[in-house]
Amino acid sequence: MIEVDQINDALAEYCHELEHDSCNYTVSAKLYLSVGPPSREPHEVVTDVFGPYAKVDQREASFDAVVASLREGFQFRGDFGAHPSLSFLESSRATAMLRLVEASLEQLLVPYERISSVEFVSGHPFYPVFWEYAYVIQRTNEAYILVASSSD
């Protein structure tokens, strides 16, 4: 069984590789766990993890949307003034690492009961500039929040 810590280790390694040999670019990604009653609304899960100052707008989403956001963000090429490590992005290692993260997320999160895309209005755990996404993935008695963003 895949654990949250394993996914966070894989996310951290991928982010590290994106930042190595980058130009004015940082990236952050983390999966958070919240245990509680299954009837919670996504904003309640976010408040449970990030505190009362975290406010979000939410809308329904799918696991395919989670994967698409992950790919889009982690394959973002930037421009001449700010970009991740282009040599890493173009490598087979990047492809293999991204596939491992996707497969690990699927193994942990599917089947799910509800997925919501959330946008932080306040209380964002990172500093988003170029791209960002956050999803609340709910199962019977647990919920996960996947948050990622990049900045200069």
Q: What is the CATH number of the domain that holds 59?
A: 3.40.1000
Whole domain around residue 118: which residue ranges?
4-151
Residue-level pLDDT at 23: 97
Quick one: pLDDT at residue 32? 97
Mapped onto helix, strand or coil, the DSSP state of residue 70 is helix
Residue type, 8: N
Quote the pLDDT of residue 140.
Answer: 86
Domain count across the chain? 1
**Calpha distance 128→20 (Å, rounded):** 19
The CA distance from 96 to 8, in Å, is 16
pLDDT of residue 71: 97
**What's the CA gap between 8 and 81, in Å, rounded?**
28
Phi, psi at 103, each rounded to 5°? -65, -40
pLDDT (0 to 100) of residue 39: 83
pTM for this model (two decimals): 0.95
Q: At what angle do helices 63-74 and 92-109 cross, to 10 degrees?
A: 160
Q: What is the pLDDT along the chain (152 residues), one digit of tens a residue?
A: 789 999 999 999 999 999 999 999 999 999 999 998 878 999 999 999 999 888 899 999 999 999 999 999 999 999 999 999 999 999 999 999 999 999 999 999 999 999 999 999 898 899 889 999 999 999 988 999 999 999 99
CA-nearest of 148, 150, 152 to 70 is 148
